[in-house]
Structure 1
Amino acid sequence: MAWHKLFGERATTKIAAVFDSEAAAEEAAASVRSQAGLQATQVLLVQPHEKEYARKLEPEPQGVARTALRSHMILGLAGLVAGAIVWMALYVADLPAILSSPGVSALFVLFLGAIAGLLLGGLITARPDHQLVIQRVQTATEEGRWSLVVHPRDARQCDAVMAALAASGADVARSV
């Protein structure tokens, strides 16, 4: 299965870099835009002590909702199919508990498979890998530092952004 089909967001990776001055942050933003070929909406600055920066970290609320729907539907169905395969394997193995009540055992195993898939869909929707980036920006904002938040849309853009930020000497955090 292609993992990108689970996501409804155009930019699934987040990269944040922290700077001590506005000039350094703006210079890095210009460098990132030019080297990676990003649009202005993909490169956002968070000012020191800014209160409403959450939208800059998650600029695609509709994409997050699509991710929730897609990941739960696809992985819930995949869990259901996996449960059916497990039940068939147990049935073919002639397990007495399965053979004595095949209907109830099938429902039970299918239910467990579907729940496992739905839980995995919830984990993908929650995106725990984004927490490192979010925490880095929050800490920088509270400390009175500038943050550059970048939303690359593919692997080529990610590599170009990371190279540009490495050259700037910034403190960088990246999600998967």
Structure 2
Amino acid sequence: MNLKMNEEHHPGKVVGVFEDESTAKKTAEILITKGGVSSDEVAVVSPKDKQFAKKIEPETKQIGRTLLASHIMLGLIGLVIGLLVASSLIISGIQFAVSSPIMLMIATGTLGTFMGLLVAGAASLRPDHDSVVNEVRQGRKNNQWSVVVQTIDKKDIQRAKQLMKGSAVKLAETF
């Protein structure tokens, strides 16, 4: 059984905003040649780029699968926790639990399921991506170029930031 909730191949992102096209493209080349980043993990976004959303979030199908998997998994975990709470109350002999065990199981199971779904929904919002998306949008408004790097882990994020640090006007990353 696969319990993996995040279906994205590159869940992390780093964006660097640059004043001009040549600096952005040069930085993208450095990331590929010296940073060990493959060319399909780096995207250069121009101020007039119509495809900038796809360059920032290229894995839309995987994000959809992640949403579905997290809701199913955390909803089921919430249901199990709710039923365990009800069972422990019934076993402990508490009067309200013993007098109506079926209603208690339904109530705690439902509450647990909803709590699990709420947690999944909060995780699905991906607030860590807001800073990356907002920096690219702001850069486009200011006629600046952006380099977006799709990363796998924190080590890749740190390496990309280090390579962009000297020439980027602004940097943003997911956590």
Shift of 1:13: 0.8
In 2, distance between residues paired with 1:85 and 1:8? Answer: 29
Shift of 1:74: 1.3
The answer to whether the Cα contact below 8 Å between 2:79 and 2:109 also exists between their aligned partners in 1 is yes
In 1, distance between residues paired with 2:45 and 2:118? Answer: 33
The answer to whether the Cα contact below 8 Å between 1:90 and 1:98 also exists between their aligned partners in 2 is yes
Q: What SS does structure 1 have at the residue aligned with 2:151?
A: coil
In 2, distance between residues paired with 1:11 and 1:139? Answer: 23
The answer to whether the Cα contact below 8 Å between 1:72 and 1:117 also exists between their aligned partners in 2 is yes
Shift of 1:139: 0.9
In 1, distance between residues paired with 2:15 and 2:142? Answer: 15
Q: What SS does structure 1 have at the residue aligned with 2:88?
A: helix
In 2, distance between residues paired with 1:130 and 1:68? Answer: 15
Query: Which range is displaced more, 81-90 or 107-116?
Result: 81-90
The answer to whether the Cα contact below 8 Å between 1:13 and 1:151 also exists between their aligned partners in 2 is yes
In 2, distance between residues paired with 1:149 and 1:45? Answer: 6
Partner amino acid for 1:36? G
Q: Does 1:166 align with 2:157?
A: no
Identity of aligned residues (%): 31
Unaligned runs of 5+ in 2: none
Q: Which residue matches 1:157? A: 156
Query: Which range is displaced more, 133-142 or 147-156?
Result: 147-156
Q: Taking structure 1 as the reference length, what is the TM-score of the superposition?
A: 0.90
Q: Taking structure 2 as the reference length, what is the TM-score of the superposition?
A: 0.90
In 2, distance between residues paired with 1:165 and 1:23? Answer: 14
In 2, distance between residues paired with 1:106 and 1:29? Answer: 56
Partner amino acid for 1:112? L
Q: Does 1:119 align with 2:156?
A: no
Shift of 1:117: 1.0
Unaligned runs of 5+ in 1: none
Alignment of 1:36-75 (within 5 A): 36-75=35-74
The number of aligned residues is 173
Q: Which residue matches 2:136? A: 137
The answer to whether the Cα contact below 8 Å between 1:47 and 1:141 also exists between their aligned partners in 2 is yes
The answer to whether the Cα contact below 8 Å between 1:16 and 1:173 also exists between their aligned partners in 2 is yes
Shift of 1:169: 4.4
The answer to whether the Cα contact below 8 Å between 2:18 and 2:168 also exists between their aligned partners in 1 is no
Provide the alpha-carbon RMSD of the alignment: 1.7
Q: Does 1:19 align with 2:38?
A: no
Q: Which residue matches 1:80? A: 79
Shift of 1:69: 1.6
The answer to whether the Cα contact below 8 Å between 1:35 and 1:160 also exists between their aligned partners in 2 is no
In 1, distance between residues paired with 2:169 and 2:28? Answer: 12
Q: Which residue matches 1:146? A: 145
The answer to whether the Cα contact below 8 Å between 1:35 and 1:161 also exists between their aligned partners in 2 is no
